[in-house]
Amino acid sequence: MKIKIIALGKIKEKFLKDGIEEFLKRLRPYAQVEITELMPIEIKDDNLTSKVLDEEAEKILSNIKQDSYVITLEILGKQLSSEEFASKIEEITNSGISELVFVIGSSCGLSPKVSQRADFKLSISKMTFLHQFARLLLVEQIYRAFKILKNETYHK
């Protein structure tokens, strides 16, 4: 299965880059994972937030194939345990979908246009994290999911 992560913004902190790279390396035996970074649009006036999110939506949606399964990371999405997340990935894989796309919006969130395209809306946690942590948490959980599905040691 091909997994694509579409994320707005670049990772600046070295420790986050290193962690993401480590889990991408660990994922190679299980899946082809690609990260597409898109530049967020700076919001200079809070009254323009929805307009900017819609402009970002166009960039995001242009990077998603029509037949891809899309999971957006959203505050109001469904929270899953690691085992439930692994089952969700297995269900998608078994359905014959060839590409799974995760979308991480900007710190202002996602346009309703992107949310409407989602096949599933996922919330990482009720807690608030630095926005850039989402990518590290996601790749770690994808790796954990494959380890769970293969009954390999890592997950406890």
Q: For the segment 139-151, what is each residue's pLDDT rounded down to a tens digit?
A: 999 999 999 999 9
Residues 39-53: what's their mean pLDDT? 82
d(CA 23, CA 140): 6
Domain count, the chain: 1
Confidence (pLDDT) at 40 = 87
Residues 48-57: what's their mean pLDDT? 89
Burial of 133 (0-12, 13-18, 19+ CB in 10 A): middle
Residues 12-17: what's their mean pLDDT? 96
Within 8 A by CB and 6+ apart from 26, the residues are 143
Q: Is residue 62 part of a domain?
A: yes
Q: Is residue 47 part of a domain?
A: yes
Check whether 49 has a pLDDT greater than 90.
Answer: no
**Segment holding 84, helix H or strand E:** helix 82-94
Q: Is residue 7 part of a domain?
A: yes
Which CATH number is 123's domain given? 3.40.1280.10
Check whether 156 has a pLDDT greater than 70.
Answer: no
Q: Is residue 155 part of a domain?
A: no
Strands (E) in the chain, as ranges, are: 2-8, 32-38, 69-79, 99-104, 120-123
Residues above pLDDT 70, as percent of the chain: 99
Tokens standing for residue 58: 């166009």
Tens of pLDDT, residues 115-136: 999 999 999 998 888 888 999 9
d(CA 55, CA 41): 8
Check whether 43 has a pLDDT greater than 80.
Answer: no
Q: What range defines the domain where residue 63 resides? A: 2-149
Tens of pLDDT, residues 104-115: 998 888 999 999
- What are φ and ψ of residue 70, in 5° steps? -115, 125
